[in-house]
Amino acid sequence: MSKTDELRATFFQESEDLLEQLTDGLDEMSGGEADSETVNSVFRAVHSIKGGAGAFALDAVVRFAHRFENVLDALRSGELAVNGQVLDVLMRSSDHLTVLLEQARDGVPDDGDPAGEPLLAELMALTGAEADEGPSEAEVNFQPMTLDLGDFGASAPAEMQFRVDFQPQDDLFKSGNEPVFLLRELCALGEAQVDCNTSALPEFDALDTEASYLSWKVELRTEASETAVREVFEFVDGLCVLGIEEVGGDSAGGGLPDLPDLPSADTPPSSEPAAADDAATKAAAPAPVPGPAASSAATPAGPPQKVEPPAKSQPPQPVASTIRVDLHRIDRMINLVGELVINQAMLTQAVKRDGIAQGSDIDVGLEELRTLTRQIQDSVMAIRAQPVKALFQRMSRIAREAGADTGKTLRMVTEGAATEIDKTVIEKLADPLTHMIRNAVDHGLENAEDRLASGKSAEGTIRLSAAHLSGRVVIEITDDGAGINRDRVRSIAEKKGLIPPDAQLTANDIDNLIFQPGFSTASQLTALSGRGVGMDVVKRSIQSLGGRVSIASEPGKGSTFSIVLPLTLAVLDGMVIEVGGQTVVVPISAIIETMRVPTEQVFQLGTQNAVVRIRGSYVPIVDVGAVMGYRPAVDPTGDHVILLVETADGVRAALLIDVIHDQRQVVIKGLEDNYGQVPGVAAATILGDGRIALILDPSAIVGHNGAGGAAVLTTPLAAE
């Protein structure tokens, strides 16, 4: 990867963060929290994107971001008040900016952005600006910054006061010098007030990266002599315009305010020639904070703008310090830790086999190793976990787009965006969620007239929520639309031969028909959804993540789709059992209880199947050994054990097995890489003795047995 490509990649990564910041800010504003810090953060985000985009000549982005920024600037200065209409335009602009950046990232050729024209017009209408000549006029409102570099030298009696004017020339950077170091050295001499003069900075586009535009004015109180001050600049003699002037021992800079966050002088920019504009970019964003915000808050006659709440007016927000790490490195580490866990288990087993006494040093040491290994594993897994926030923001955008395309007004509500899930899961969720959101807007919500007619507000609501629930993640998509039209679903399913005409189906069964392949309820195909590949694809992709999707619908009130997902794809709490001479693992999450077969509670049902009565209800018995082909079917009343399992669809079954061995956390190993999918098997794992054990997929096994509602539905399909 060339240097430019790397920078480009970094820009797009940072843009993602900035877009998130932008969306956050807009959300806050729509929540009525339009204080100036929020507006500022939104402005900064757009401004930074524009700056970066300019550096990579992404003209469409720059053009759009510029107009966007103008509106935000008007908001910031109070020329424009926040209202619903403005927010709507801002949100759509933010969406459009996201699209533009994605296009730029994916290398879509710049077509002058015709799609953005109407939005641009709307944005311009907001500021009342005529078609101005582009991002050229004084939009770079850099303010001279006061850098208070703190109390360096303790005040001493013989203090002198100097005024130092320092203006580096281009050659200063070319010879590898760095103003920050000089200023720092200067500050070390005494108490300094440093002013950076950025007035010479040109428009970002016109910026020559090799040139020097900044100059500094330093008010220095020091015990040192003028010679000592001059010595600081000894090595840049002739590379800068330097003026050192003694102004007497009186305080001059006392009236200058202390700025809470000082961006530039303490952040050493890279010592490349580009250092000057680098520093300028960094300074550009935070610099305007105190200016307009303070003035608008202080002007009583100003336009309606909330007085800043004190807590918000402190700009230094605790920024979580993060690093970007290549995902492959983390994956490699996770694999290695997985090996470590297996190795540790094998070691424990070997020690046990050799008859090492419990409580011996070796035993205690091993126990500690086990705890540590587990902790390492948890920590490594936590690295992969990420909040679903970015995903949810993307979904909000998709909902708005879908709303615009179908002409439905809707409100998107997200909850639990801080919920953390494995990154891979998040990535793989994007497609199915997109489809479900579009479906909810397209098929779920009614149009405004129908809604009003049924006594609802014209604006539909889509709710997207995430939460942790007993070791799993539950994501719900709820619409307040018409709910599933069961008669229509049923007749369509009959027409398409998905169910026999006389099938006895519960309401829930009918709702679940929409997950059948080839089912599509839209009476006409729309651009959004309705290609007939909808929900069955969603279901399959969720299942491939080890999750389940289900639906609950109430006619007239709306539908809720629930996705239940494992927290991670890498480990699983399992019960190690034996059946037909084979050791297999059953996910604990599916097991409700275990018991010896209560012989007198087992009843024959039909010719081949048996049920067991557990606390009054009858549960079908599934002979795992027979279903997996390990051995022929056995008499369930023999010497066996029952695992009562419940699948995510709520179907219960009694798995008939031989022996329960152990309960432990196992590392999931895919079978797909070298072999392929095996019916009834979710994955494989490696046991303590180094052998491979298969991990059962209880849902598939229960379905295989022909028990439960889901299986009834799939039978006609299987028969085709």
Partner 1 sequence: MTDQTENDAEDVNELIAFRIAEQDFCFNIMSVREIRGWTPATVIPHAPSYVRGVINLRGAVVPIVDLAARLGLEVPEPTARNVIIITQVDGPIVGLLVDAVSDILSVSEKEVQATPDVASNGSEFLSGIITREDRMIRLLNLGAIVPEKAGVAA
DSSP for 568-600 reads: -SSEEEEEEEEETTEEEEEEGGGEEEEEE--GG
Taking the complex as a whole, the smallest distance from the CB of residue 684 to partner 1 amounts, in Å, to 5
Taking the complex as a whole, the smallest distance from the CB of residue 428 to partner 1 amounts, in Å, to 21
Q: Which of 693, 702, 707, 710 touches partner 1 by CB under 8 A? A: 693
Taking the complex as a whole, the smallest distance from the CB of residue 69 to partner 1 amounts, in Å, to 50
Residue 29 or 628 with smaller CB distance to partner 1: 628
Q: Sketch the per residue contact string, 296 through 325, with partner 1: x for CB under 8 A, - otherwise.
A: ------------------------------
- CB-based burial label for 407 (10 Å; 0-12, 13-18, 19+): exposed
Looking at 149-157, 315-323, 529-537, 679-687, which segment touches partner 1 (CB under 8 A)? 679-687
Looking at 15-23, 256-264, 448-456, 622-630, which segment touches partner 1 (CB under 8 A)? 622-630
Residue owning tokens 């699209």: 99
Residue 156 or 659 with smaller CB distance to partner 1: 659
Q: Does residue 692 touch partner 1 according to CB under 8 A?
A: yes
Residue 258 or 673 with smaller CB distance to partner 1: 673
Residue 383 or 700 with smaller CB distance to partner 1: 700
Cβ atoms of residues 590 and 672 within 8 Å: no
Q: Does residue 673 touch partner 1 according to CB under 8 A?
A: yes
- CB-based burial label for 629 (10 Å; 0-12, 13-18, 19+): exposed
**Of 422, 664, 712, residue with least CA distance to 546:** 422
Cβ atoms of residues 193 and 253 within 8 Å: yes
Q: Which of 359, 691, 718, 719 touches partner 1 by CB under 8 A? A: 691
Taking the complex as a whole, the smallest distance from the CB of residue 654 to partner 1 amounts, in Å, to 20
Q: How would you write 518-546 as a 3-class SS string? A: CCCCCCCCCCCCCCCCHHHHHHHHHHHCC
To the nearest 10 degrees (0 to 180), the angle between helices 59-77 and 290-298 is 30
Residue 580 or 709 with smaller CB distance to partner 1: 580
Please, which of residues 198-227 interact with partner 1 by CB under 8 A? Answer: none
Q: Which of 327, 468, 677, 717 touches partner 1 by CB under 8 A? A: 677
Q: Which of 462, 590, 694, 710 touches partner 1 by CB under 8 A? A: 694
Q: Does residue 676 touch partner 1 according to CB under 8 A?
A: yes
CA distance 437 to 403: 10
Reading the block at residue 676, the tokens are 């392929």
- How far, CA to CA in Å, does 349 sit from each of 300, 346, 584, 667? 77, 5, 18, 17
What does DSSP assign to residue 443?
I
Taking the complex as a whole, the smallest distance from the CB of residue 629 to partner 1 amounts, in Å, to 5
Q: Does residue 42 touch partner 1 according to CB under 8 A?
A: no
Taking the complex as a whole, the smallest distance from the CB of residue 694 to partner 1 amounts, in Å, to 7
Residue 302 or 629 with smaller CB distance to partner 1: 629
Q: Which of 425, 492, 628, 695 touches partner 1 by CB under 8 A? A: 628
Determine which helix (DSSP H) or strand (DSSP E) holds 219, and give its type and residue range.
strand 215-222
Q: Does residue 674 touch partner 1 according to CB under 8 A?
A: yes
Please, which of residues 565-604 interact with partner 1 by CB under 8 A? Answer: 582-583
Question: What is the layout of strands, in order, in the sheet containing 160-168?
Answer: 145-148, 190-197, 215-222, 160-168, 240-246
Applying CB under 8 A, what is the total number of residues that bind partner 1? 29
Taking the complex as a whole, the smallest distance from the CB of residue 594 to partner 1 amounts, in Å, to 22
Residue 146 or 582 with smaller CB distance to partner 1: 582
All residues at 6 or more sequence positions from 316 whose CB lies less than 8 Å from its CB, including other chains: 260, 261
Please, which of residues 325-384 interact with partner 1 by CB under 8 A? Answer: 335, 338-339, 342
CA distance 422 to 113: 36
Q: What are the beta bridge partners of residue 594?
A: 643
The C-alpha R_g of the chain, in whole angstroms, comes to: 33
Cβ of 615: how many Cβ atoms within 10 Å?
Answer: 6
Q: Does residue 675 touch partner 1 according to CB under 8 A?
A: yes
Position 503: which residue type?
A
What does DSSP assign to residue 224?
S
Strands 240-246 and 190-197: unpaired
| Binding site residues, partner 1, CB under 8 A | 335, 338-339, 342, 582-583, 628-630, 669-681, 684, 686, 690-694
